[in-house]
Amino acid sequence: MSVDEPDVRAVAQAVRDAESVVALTGAGVSTASGIPDFRGEDGIWERHDPMDFHIDRFRSDPEGFWRDRVKLQASAFDDGNVAPNAAHEALAGLESAGHLDTVVTQNIDGLHQDAGSEDVIEIHGSAARVVCRDCNQRFDAEPAMARARDGDLPPTCDDCDGTLKPDTVLFGEQLPEHALMQSQAKAESAGVFLAVGSSLTVEPAASLPRVAAERGATLVLVNLESTPLSGRADFDFRADVTEALPQLRRAVEE
């Protein structure tokens, strides 16, 4: 499914003219890389018990938490064998060409950075990192994950021996305040706000595009299905993100 070319050219013009362009990305950008949606039908939380990944479980039983986390890693991220897709590449390309300021993402897979995006705000954290509960240092997740796979549970900090936690927002945990404030500020100053592959039903993703539109941003939605903001958007592309975003990037660069 491709989107109407004159509309794409109009969005491209708005992107070129805007002082600040912000993209919000949701699960639809990750599913195109083969990562199952966490919510939804046949999602991760249909196959794993969300309570196993609650912060209280981590606190009371870090060993069991990590044992389950290893299984989740295998089924959600194919043990790390996932790669960026054309939507990630298009956003990274727009950024490197100076047409995109920031990606705010609900996804935790780190694929925007893998594609080359530099200014990424991860409002649900990142599974590509772990954080030490004692000294707060962050490390690449893979060595910790490898140790956990080998039965070294729970993996601990090389520096202080504190317990390592995936640097993602667990059930029962607050979203990172700094990331939230940053993304709110970016939304307020955006000239164009692209909401991509998000159903826009979970906070803060639901409110960021609304805030941007209220402040005068051109609001562009790219999602296979309609969203609560579809009626409000300047452009509502019901399209595959891996087709629509490369199409937009080409139009911006024409």
Chain residues binding Zn ion by CB under 5 A are 132, 134-135, 157, 159-160, 162
Asked whether residue 132 is marked as a ligand-binding residue, the answer is: yes
Those residues whose C-beta lies under 8 Å from the C-beta of residue 15, and which sit 6 or more positions away, are 21, 94, 99, 100, 192, 248, 252
Q: How far is the CB of 91 from Zn ion (least distance, A)?
A: 33
The catalytic residue among 88, 112, 124, 178 is: 124
Instruction: Tell me whether the omega of the peptide bond preceding residue 154 falls within 30 degrees of 0, making it cis.
Output: yes
Q: How far is the CB of 158 from Zn ion (least distance, A)?
A: 8
- In one-letter notation, the amino acid at residue 133 is R
Q: How far is the CB of 136 from Zn ion (least distance, A)?
A: 7
Of the pair 80, 162, the CB lying nearest Zn ion is at 162
Asked whether residue 71 is marked as a ligand-binding residue, the answer is: no
Asked whether residue 205 is marked as a ligand-binding residue, the answer is: no
Of the pair 163, 227, the CB lying nearest Zn ion is at 163
Of the pair 144, 187, the CB lying nearest Zn ion is at 144
Q: How far apart are the first and last CA of the chain?
A: 22
Active site residue 124: yes
Query: Known catalytic residues?
Result: 124
- Residues annotated in the binding site for Zn(2+), as ranges? 132, 135, 157, 160
- Residues annotated in the binding site, as ranges? 132, 135, 157, 160
